[in-house]
């Protein structure tokens, strides 16, 4: 993906990343985490603003820093980095709100050709009872991404 993104840093297991969003609201530190779930090889992707004062994460806030696309592209890049380190991993992602989930769907749609070169993407149907291959124009509740070799 050659779209604009922030430089980011990680720790050695590539499960936690950080970068700084820069925009009209100033500099905001963002953390991305891939957490093990109860399902083998499935990791939950989440990211949010880190408040230096409270030392807490907020993934519900609407930062409105004017760089949402750049933030999403940066987070997408961390997925590549994480899976490069953990090739058998499946990445689960959903938004903290319906609007956020829709934003992720739009991001996947806009980059589907590029993503599909290396990954397979599944969407969880809105009734929440089965996965299907990601289809443009369909509303999903969550997403699951894995390297194509894992099928």
Partner 1 sequence: MKTIDKLNNSKIPVITFNKKLEQFREVVLFPEKLEKANEILSKVGIPENLKR
Contact range with partner 1 by CB under 8 A, out of 21-29, 61-69, 74-82, 102-110: 74-82
31 binds partner 1 (CB under 8 A): yes
71 binds partner 1 (CB under 8 A): no
Residues 117-136 that bind partner 1 (CB under 8 A): 118, 120, 122, 124, 128-131
Residue 74 beta carbon to partner 1: minimum distance, rounded to whole angstroms? 10
The 10 Å Cβ neighbour count of residue 38 is 5
With CB under 8 A as the contact rule, the residue among 21, 28, 33, 70 that binds partner 1 is 33
Assigned token pair, 64: 């409105």
Fill in the DSSP letter of residue 3: S
Residue 76, Cβ density class (10 Å: 0-12 exposed, 13-18 middle, ≥19 buried): buried
SS3 23: strand
Write the secondary structure of 52-106 as one string of H (helix), E (strand) and C (coil): CCCCEEECCCCCCCCCHHHHHHHHHHHHHHHHHHCCCCEEEECCCCHHHHHHHHH
89 binds partner 1 (CB under 8 A): no
Which chain residues interact with partner 1 by CB under 8 A?
A: 1, 5, 7-18, 31, 33, 35, 37-39, 42, 44, 46, 48, 57, 59, 77, 80-81, 84, 90, 92, 94, 96, 118, 120, 122, 124, 128-131, 141-142, 144, 146, 150-151
């Amino acid at each position: 993906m050659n779209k604009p993104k922030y430089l980011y840093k990680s720790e050695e297991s590539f499960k936690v990343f950080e970068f700084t969003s820069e925009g009209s609201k100033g500099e905001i530190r963002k953390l991305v985490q891939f957490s093990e779930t109860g399902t083998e090889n499935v990791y939950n992707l989440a990211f949010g603003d880190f408040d230096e004062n409270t030392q807490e994460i907020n993934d519900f806030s609407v930062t409105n820093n004017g760089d949402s696309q750049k933030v999403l592209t940066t987070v997408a890049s961390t997925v590549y980095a994480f899976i490069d380190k953990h090739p058998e991993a499946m990445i689960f992602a959903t938004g903290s709100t319906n609007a956020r989930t829709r934003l992720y769907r739009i991001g996947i749609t806009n980059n589907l050709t590029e993503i599909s070169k290396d990954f397979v993407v599944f969407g969880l149907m809105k009734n929440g009872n089965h996965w299907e291959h990601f289809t443009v124009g369909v509303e999903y509740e969550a997403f699951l991404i894995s390297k194509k070799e894992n099928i």
